[in-house]
Structure 1
Amino acid sequence: MTTQRTSRFRRAARTLVSLVAVVGMVAACGDPAALEATPAAGPHLITHDGHRLAFHVTAGHSPTVVLDAGGGEDSSYWDALVAQLSRATGSRIVTYDRAGMGASDEVPGPWDGRAAASDLQAGLRELGVTRDVVLVSHSQAGEVATYFVRANPGVVAGAVLVDANLPPFFTDPQIQRIVAVTEPQIEALGKQPSTKENRQLIATAANFGPTHQAYHELSWPDGLPATVIVSEKTPFDGSPEDAQRWRDAAATFVAAGPGRTLVTARGSSHDVPKDDPALVLDHIERMAATAR
């Protein structure tokens, strides 16, 4: 596989194919004394179901903002935004490495959004974050967010879904298209030297069809506010048909329930937090203000 083809595939995989995901959701502890006791910053290694997960906390008050990166990315994806967000909101900021990424242990087997949400839940509980969370989820983390909010009612006060994998996108025809396009690339990746990123891509592809058929059936809880930021170029820049389906899925998601807002990141690629950080910061600040 050429470098250009590998790069193109990984961009797509980090979005729809949902690599290793974990939703960025966090709940804030309402006890001011507990908030003041939170370390200014530092890694917390949390064990769940036999594997360790690395969480990073910047001290602040409620609501807690949890930043969850897309497939193939770890907590460092948000490094440029954490300090700005902390200054702008005064909120506690939490980032973390999903299983198999960064300082977190790898977990064998196919990608499982429900298990990733369970990891996030365990980490937040150990940190004392159990309510008033503003969840910011990019790309594959949209799957984690959906499982998380369904399993943990009352924890998340609002979400900012940044060019995120949303259930309406994953129709049977679209799943078949993705599988057909990525199958040869995944096979080629399997012949390359084994790396963390490659292993996670292969794990995502292993059970992609059934996993995303089940995800397609999920719905976002009514009444839970969500801002959906969709990139203008989408993960399918170069494929107008797929790009339009991505945009249509975002619009369908927003129209399906109250308290949802659709925002387009003009001129941005799928990496909206990198291409237009001011836009992402603005909508996180707005959601945090409503959650106070």
Structure 2
Amino acid sequence: MARIHAPGHRAHRAHRALAALALLAVSAGSVTACGGGGSAHREPAPSASAPAVPEAHRTAEPELHMIDNDGHRLAFHVTEGHGPAIVLDAGGGEDSSYWKDIVPGLHAATGATIITYDRPGLGKSEAVPGAWDVRSAVSDLGTGLRKLGVTQDVVLVSHSQAGEIATYFTKENPELVSGSVLVDASLPPLYTDEEIARLVAANQPAVDAAKKDPSQPRNSQLISVAESYAPMHKAYHQVSWPDAVPATVIVSEKTPFDGSPEDAQLWRDAAASFVGQGPDRTLVTAKGSSHDVPKDRPALVIEEIGKMAAARG
């Protein structure tokens, strides 16, 4: 399967190396929008700007908490508020700073406690050697929330690869997660045996390049994901989301794929299929957005999180 990259994407490819495998995709490219197949489907008008932050909320600063779990330390950043805690989980290769432009507006809009965190080897968190393991990632998130005293009413917001963490975490903790917003997330229906094989083959050059300089954090993350990628996603394809936990799925118009309409359509189809598999699920298309919906459509992301928080609060 050929991948076509415009010259302007060459610098961008290096930045998106981890996303290339973790999402099983390559740099974002143009595609056509998908008609919905879920229980509900909305296509909001494009709006790039986040809501203005009132002066009263601009002084809120996150507090750093270092959490120990299974021999390593993890950085959790907490902006105090009230009501359901909103947990923001960034995609592959990204740390908590991915949400820096979302947190102030979200805190202003909801007044909720906002929690972001750095997975191992990213941001202020310690690295963990070996293959990336979604079960370990679930343990890291669960331990962090428990030690922060968050034991109920979590609204879990997950971008990209973090959708895999969200799926396992929510399945194991349906009493803790009251609702979820999955932002162009990696979802189980995508990972058929055929698609796994296609994506692994397409992204092998990125893995080979990363192995030439494994000391770089993004490269080491890419290598660790690649080591367990195929078996992990074969298992992930069979995982179901609990019916008791509502979910809003925001799918980007362009998806993570560049030059591959077939894979882009499969990505959109996976989002629609996920929504159609259970009750209380809504599909929202982020018109005009690349895979980085929180960057391209922050107001939309804040709006959908606010709706979920209000409904579950």
TM over 0.5: yes
Q: Does 1:53 align with 2:71?
A: no
SS for the counterpart of 1:278 is: helix
Q: Which residue of 1 aligns with 2:87?
A: 66
In the alignment, structure 1 segments of 5+ residues that lack a partner are 18-38
Question: How many residues in Structure 1 have an aligned counterpart in Structure 2?
Answer: 270
Amino acid at match of 1:223: A
Give the whole-Å Cα distance in 2 for the aligned partners of 1:168 and 1:199.
27
Give the whole-Å Cα distance in 2 for the aligned partners of 1:111 and 1:171.
20
Give the whole-Å Cα distance in 1 for the aligned partners of 2:202 and 2:67.
37
Q: Which residue of 2 aligns with 1:42?
A: 63
Alignment of 1:121-200 (within 5 A): 121-192=142-213, 194-200=215-221
Answer yes or no: is the 8 Å Cα contact 2:75–2:117 preserved in 1: yes
Q: Which residue of 1 aligns with 2:136?
A: 115
Give the whole-Å Cα distance in 1 for the aligned partners of 2:69 and 2:106.
28
Q: Which residue of 2 aligns with 1:12?
A: 20
Q: Which residue of 2 aligns with 1:20?
A: none
Give the superposition deviation at 1:184.
2.2
Answer yes or no: is the 8 Å Cα contact 1:223–1:257 preserved in 2: no
Q: Which residue of 1 aligns with 2:257?
A: 236
Q: Which residue of 2 aligns with 1:36?
A: none
- Residues 147/80 of structure 1: CA separation in 2 closer, same or farther (3 Å cut): same
Give the whole-Å Cα distance in 1 for the aligned partners of 2:22 and 2:192.
18
SS for the counterpart of 1:91 is: coil
Give the superposition deviation at 1:4.
5.6
- Normalising by structure 2, we get a TM-score of 0.83
Amino acid at match of 1:231: S
Give the superposition deviation at 1:16.
3.2
Answer yes or no: is the 8 Å Cα contact 1:16–1:140 preserved in 2: no
SS for the counterpart of 1:54 is: strand
Give the whole-Å Cα distance in 2 for the aligned partners of 1:147 and 1:196.
25
Give the whole-Å Cα distance in 2 for the aligned partners of 1:187 and 1:142.
25
Give the whole-Å Cα distance in 2 for the aligned partners of 1:200 and 1:171.
24
Give the whole-Å Cα distance in 2 for the aligned partners of 1:175 and 1:264.
24
Residue 258 (structure 1) aligned to one of 272, 279, 304: 279
RMSD between superposed Cα atoms in Å: 1.5
Residue 91 (structure 1) aligned to one of 112, 117, 121: 112
Q: Which one scores higher on RCO, CA 8 angstroms, separation ≥ 6?
A: 2
Give the whole-Å Cα distance in 2 for the aligned partners of 1:169 and 1:50.
33
SS for the counterpart of 2:267 is: helix
Deviations 1:54-83 (A, max 9, x none): 000001111110000000000000011111
Q: Which residue of 2 aligns with 1:274?
A: 295
Q: Which residue of 2 aligns with 1:32?
A: none
Give the whole-Å Cα distance in 1 for the aligned partners of 2:138 and 2:308.
21
Structure with greater proportional helix content: 1
Deviations 1:246-277 (A, max 9, x none): 00000000000000000000110000000000
Identity %: 62
Answer yes or no: is the 8 Å Cα contact 2:80–2:114 preserved in 1: yes
